[in-house]
Each structure stands twice: as C-alpha cells, then as structure tokens.
Amino acid sequence: MGLCSMDAGTPLTVGTWVAARAGADCALSAAAAVAAGERAAFALTRPPGHHAGADFFGGYCFLNNAALAAQQLRDQGFERVAVLDLDYHHGNGTQAIFYERTEVFFLPAFMATRLLNTRFTWAMPMSRVKMPGWVLIATCPWRGSDFALWRAALTTALQGIQSYGAQALVVSLGLDTFEGDPIAGFKLQSADYLQVGQDLAAAGLPTVLVFEGGYAVAEVGINAVNLLQGFMEMT
C-alpha cells in the first residue's frame, strides 16, 4: 500500500471503486455540460479528489475529479484551462498531474505549506517546481486570516488566471476556510461565501465547480449554497 498511498488514513474497501468512479463521472458530466455551452456546472462529489495523483491516492481522495474535469475541457476544445484550488489543504495531486504542462494553469492559492506535513508530498520544494502554472500568491493568507485578507489572495489568483489567458475555469471547492471548521482556523463566515461566488463569476469564464469538502458538517451545505447563489447572481 505504501507504494501507491501517500497516507494511512485512506482505506480501500469493498465500495471504494464504485464511489470514486461515480464521483469522477459526476465531474466529467459537469465539464461536458460546460463544454456544450452551459455557463457553469457544480459537481457535488464524494469522495473528494484533489489529493489524488496519476499514480497515488490519499487524503480521502482516489481519483482526481478536478483534474479529470480540466482534461475533459481540454479534450472538448478549450486550449487553456485554469484550476483554482480554494481548499485550505494543498491540491498536491492536481499539481502533480499537471506538473510539466503549460495548457493547464494550477493555482493552489490558499495552501498553508508551513502547517502541513511535507513528508507525504503535500507540497513540493519551490526549487523543484517546473510547472509553468505554479504561482506563489504574495498575499497568501495564513491561519487566523479574516475574509478581507483571504479575499485579497483570491483577487490576486483571479488576476493571475486572467493574465494566463484561461478560456475555462475549474474550481476545487474546499469549504474548510469557514470560521467554524475544526481544522483550518480561517475566519470566513457563511455570508462571505456569497461574495466568493460573485468574485468567481466576475472572472467571466465557463466554470466547473468541483466539491472537495469541509469539516464543519452542519454548515458545509449552507456555505456551498451561498457560494453558488452568489455565483448565479452575477450570471
């Protein structure tokens, strides 16, 4: 197991492949809808995907839903696709998949590298990063940041996407930045996700939003709906 799993907390069980494949199919269907002309689509998938690489799994992830959606958009004619990972945790699997490719621009804008265990490839040393899509967000917010600082980083990330010339956007939608989340320690409130959705929509790109997760179970649905509502208000 150690040859293909980056951690010891992602077990393979009888129903694992069925669930992972269903989640991947959901993301592919969302991307297909956007490629066919929909302004946006939301893939509400479980299990999540952004920690899964081409040859490894972990972090509760088995197949990388966001990466599959990005490749689907590429296959359907979008020459440049951006993947914006809003999760507190680094989307190391997505980074690994697009490590040396220029047609997919990956931004792990809110990665708190200093707080993660790099022994299990959560982050690659900056000296080794070859991927042209990698950018280090100067305003990257750290643990305890409020929404103003967090949103400033989002603005910087979206500016980077525009500069890249992306024709479509995939969002790894992690909601563990919520103030009530037991892990991340950020200070975003439920109402703030309305603004996040508006900011994402203002980018003006065909968008696939792929659900990654969040650990404040009682509020994660509220926060997801608020973000989608904010997005739709701008479309």
Q: List beta partners, residue 5.
A: 57
Contact 151, 195 (CB under 8 A): yes
SS3 call for 158: helix
Distance CA 214, CA 212 (A): 7
Q: Is 51 a catalytic residue?
A: yes
Give the residue from 211, 202, 231, 206 showing the smallest Cα distance to 81.
206
Residue 173: what residue type? L
Distance CA 65, CA 160 (A): 23
Among 50, 51, 89, 90, the active-site one is 51
Distance CA 113, CA 107 (A): 14
Distance CA 81, CA 69 (A): 10
Distance CA 210, CA 99 (A): 20
What does the DSSP 8-state code read for residue 188?
A: B
- Residues annotated catalytic, as ranges: 51
